[in-house]
Amino acid sequence: MDPSALEASLLVVASVILAGSIVIFAQFPRTRAYPGPVLLCILFSASLCIIFRAILHLSTIHMLRGNAKNPWPTIVDVARACLTIASFVPSSISIPFWCSFYFSSASTFWYLMLATDLISSLSNPFLPFQANSLLHHLVAWPCAGFWIAAFSWLFQNETRGPTTTPPTPSTAAHLRMWMIIPVYGVLAYIIVALLVAWTKSRVLETQAHTTTRRMAKLILPYLLVFGLGGLMSLCLYFADAHVEATTRERSTVANTLDQLTELAQLVAVFALFQRKACWANRRRSSRFAASSTVTCAPSPMAEDLHRATEDDEHDNSQTLSISNVLRQCIMKYTSMGIVEGAQGVEPKATADIQLSDYSCIMTKAIVVHGRFESGDLTFYDCAPAVFHDLRTMFGVTQEEYIASFALDQILDEHGSEGKSGNIFYFTANKKFMVKSVPEDEYQVLRSILPYYHNYLQAHPESYLCRYFGCHSISLPVGSRRMYFVVMQNLFNEGAVDQRFDLKGNTDRRQAIQSYDVEQYIVRSQNREAISKLMMDIDFLKLRQTIQVDDMDEANMQSQLIEDITFLATRDIMDYSILLGVKYIHNVPSATSGTLSKTRERIYYLGIIDMLQRYTWRWTLQRWFLGLFCCKDMSNVSAVPPNEYGTRLKHFVRTRLFYTPGKGRWSGWTNPETPRPSEQQLRPSGPSAWTTEEEFLSPTAAALWRSAQSPFHMQMVPPHRASGGFFVASSF
């Protein structure tokens, strides 16, 4: 067969598979579940490897066409040339070679990610999926680059010599083995990883044990394809070394077989990948066709069979992850530890709490009965007497707290809407929430606990997050520990209609896209619920404020400022004010929130995420944003605690609250901006506002009036008839 035709065929097939993989991944959501994203990267890397290698050989064939004395160069010949006489190798050959080598190595490391994902799910089930995916990319692509650089550095001197000297087996044939040496390291790790996962799953409960082995079986076909490819490469290496030792020439047949092996491996992975996507689609199509031809009422047995089929398809369409199952098990063990800790605590009066009580850690053993073996987990209960006193201080009885974490009550899991990626668990009665935190935040809470406890005693109306427990538990697999804090749920009276996370700055503090602002203004004025967690810029654009009686405003403002001052003295930063707004028709008899001046809203207010200290990481982030991203360094979240507190207090004083007759100015993000005179801010002109209308933004006021009457647009006061809702100076 003509070598050019073979290389062109390989180029076309690899290009088609690459395009098909991307289309399938975009078209079928099923492929985005585990291990779809990793498989897409494997297909992407392997396809580009074959494409660049085909381009490489086409270039060499074109360059040597007409020279019958020289055989077609193999990949080893090109590698030797690029290492010894790189300055004489044309870029049409060297660039495809190094690109092919890079993507070949990258596909190898992506097979490694396929196995490490199983191990990381067992050792750290609370690692966010986004963080795990990011970690894969941060490992696979750079590792391929590092290997290429190391290979070039190691073998340049060894293979460099007189160009007229024919290469020896040690410098040519063995070069093929060194080019694929990562394959065998990855294969060794994969074998160990599967054995470890299979062994460690014995100590897990039945569901976790079954899920772990299902995950192992799911990735096994892909790893088998990878292993067979590595075995074939090893056989070709020995064959090529034998041919070179006897004939002093490298075998072009071995080079061609190596390319065909890469293609066969790619086709096999692609077939398994598309089968996952198309199998469920065919099942849905066949079931739809069957249901459309049957018009009679189905029998009970047929209904049961149909329901079972749907359930099975639903299970198969979901992300198969041991992390989800392990988290459920660990939270059950954590609930057991919380209940035992609350039952065994020795209550102390506030005056009897000593300094040793703050550093006290009670250790408990929780026995875990696995599928085949049993083990025990270590549960740490930090400062139980202190947290019991805090619960008592805020009216939480022992019976209520224990009942909330009863084992027959399922904790409701929610992912974080912020950047932290932490996971929240709400008790069934929605009164408490358990949050997974990193170890440094766990240690921060322990370090500030004496000051926090004393501050809440002196300020019982504080808006600081109310922590009712601090715990740690070991994991069934590995030596890692997980850390949790128990908090009071700010919205324990039910769902709220709007939520705002406010930090007093505008850098990356927007949840609503600019083209959706008007839509959200209308929804807000129509009192529709908005599920999205909004931020500072959204708060500005919607012209939201806390509108309460003067006495309530003074009390809330002064308490918030005291709370912020306390956090600044403890070197805490990156906290935020969580504001919930609930629309009501009838004034409730009792509420933990604050009624608006119009008695049409309830405001829930609290300071959350207050366990971050200003470390070198924040300093690095601040300077990176300022120097490389051209951000205003005074307007980013990563600022020192005192500066952070000063900025947020300025926001509380100037923007969070609003009283009719007082205006706003655009310098709220900068404490140094002078406040205009009251006369400049005071509204003028006719005003016929009713209830909430006087608090509306210019655009919202116009929309609100337009919704009532087509003639009401003319009634908008002159001072509000122009301008927009963009009031911050940074816009």
| Structure confidence at residue 660 as a pLDDT band (50, 70, 90) | low
Residue 662 has pLDDT above 70, yes or no: no
Residue 258 has pLDDT above 80, yes or no: yes
Residue 667: what pLDDT?
Answer: 46
Residue 696: what pLDDT?
Answer: 41
**Whether 424 contacts 411, CB under 8 Å:** no
Residue 648 has pLDDT above 70, yes or no: yes
Q: How many residues are there in the chain?
A: 731
Between 43-52, 162-171, 427-436, the lowest mean confidence (pLDDT) is in: 162-171
DSSP letter for each residue of 520-573:
HHHHHHTT----SEE-HHHHHHTT--B---HHHHHHHHHHHHHHHHHHHHTTEE
* Torsion on CA atoms 166, 167, 169, 174, rounded to nearest 10: -160
More confidently predicted of 635 and 393 = 393
Between 203-207, 332-336, 469-473, 500-504, the lowest mean confidence (pLDDT) is in: 203-207
Between 182-186, 255-259, 275-279, 686-690, the lowest mean confidence (pLDDT) is in: 686-690
Q: What are phi and psi of 381, to 5 degrees?
A: -115, 110
CA angle 406, 412, 414 (to 5 degrees): 145
Residue 331: what pLDDT?
Answer: 87
Q: SS3 string of 690-711?
A: CHHHHHCCHHHHHHHHHHHCCC
| Structure confidence at residue 583 as a pLDDT band (50, 70, 90) | very high
Residue 306: what pLDDT?
Answer: 40
More confidently predicted of 292 and 195 = 195
On average, the pLDDT of the chain sits at 79
Radius of gyration of the chain (CA): 33
Sheet of 374-382, strands arranged across: 361-369, 374-382, 467-474, 481-488, 432-437, 423-426, 412-415
Residue 140 has pLDDT above 90, yes or no: yes
More confidently predicted of 642 and 305 = 642
What number is the average pLDDT over the span 44-69? 87
What number is the average pLDDT over the span 385-389? 95
Residue 357 has pLDDT above 90, yes or no: yes
| Structure confidence at residue 76 as a pLDDT band (50, 70, 90) | confident
Residue 693: what pLDDT?
Answer: 40
Residue 414: what pLDDT?
Answer: 76
Q: Give 135: exposed, middle or buried? Use CB within 10 Å, 0-12, 13-18, 19+.
A: middle
What number is the average pLDDT over the span 422-447? 91
Between 144-158, 292-306, 393-407, the lowest mean confidence (pLDDT) is in: 292-306
pLDDT above 70 covers what percent of the chain?
Answer: 74
C-alpha span between 347 and 479 (Å, rounded)? 33
Find the helix packing angle between 384-393 and 322-344, rounded to 10°. 80
Each residue's pLDDT tens digit, 97-121: 999 999 999 999 999 998 887 777 6
Does domain 498-720 fall into CATH 3.30.810.10?
yes
Q: Among 568, 689, 694, which residue's Cα sits nearest to residue 639?
A: 568
What number is the average pLDDT over the span 20-44? 88
C-alpha span between 95 and 93 (Å, rounded)? 6
Residue 631: what pLDDT?
Answer: 82
Q: For residue 621, what are the contacts with CB-CB under 8 A and spacing of at least 6?
A: 636, 638
C-alpha span between 257 and 10 (Å, rounded)? 12
Each residue's pLDDT tens digit, 11-31: 999 999 999 999 999 888 878
| Structure confidence at residue 204 as a pLDDT band (50, 70, 90) | low
CATH architecture of 322-488: 2-Layer Sandwich (3.30)
Residue 157: what pLDDT?
Answer: 58
C-alpha span between 309 and 210 (Å, rounded)? 20
More confidently predicted of 136 and 326 = 136
Highest mean pLDDT: which range of 80-89, 129-138, 353-362, 406-415 = 353-362
CATH of 3-284, one of 2.60.40.10, 3.30.565.10, 3.90.1640.30, 1.20.1070.10: 1.20.1070.10
Kindly list the domain boundaries of the chain, sorted by start residue: 3-284, 322-488, 498-720
Residue 560: what pLDDT?
Answer: 96
What number is the average pLDDT over the span 693-716? 41
Q: What are phi and psi of 527, to 5 degrees?
A: 60, 35
More confidently predicted of 691 and 589 = 589
In this structure, what token pair is assigned to residue 684?
């003028």
Pairing of strands 572-573, 601-608: unpaired
Residue 66: what pLDDT?
Answer: 62
C-alpha span between 193 and 197 (Å, rounded)? 6
C-alpha span between 463 and 486 (Å, rounded)? 16
Q: What are phi and psi of 102, to 5 degrees?
A: -65, -50
| Structure confidence at residue 574 as a pLDDT band (50, 70, 90) | very high
C-alpha span between 381 and 360 (Å, rounded)? 8
Helices (H), 351-383: 355-359
More confidently predicted of 596 and 277 = 596
Residue owning tokens 């959350």: 608
Q: Among 148, 103, 117, which residue's Cα sits nearest to residue 215?
A: 117
Element at 578 (helix H, strand E):
strand 576-583
Residue 646: what pLDDT?
Answer: 94
Each residue's pLDDT tens digit, 601-647: 999 999 999 999 998 888 888 888 888 887 877 888 889 999 999 99
pTM, 2 dp: 0.67
Highest mean pLDDT: which range of 68-72, 322-326, 669-673, 683-687 = 322-326
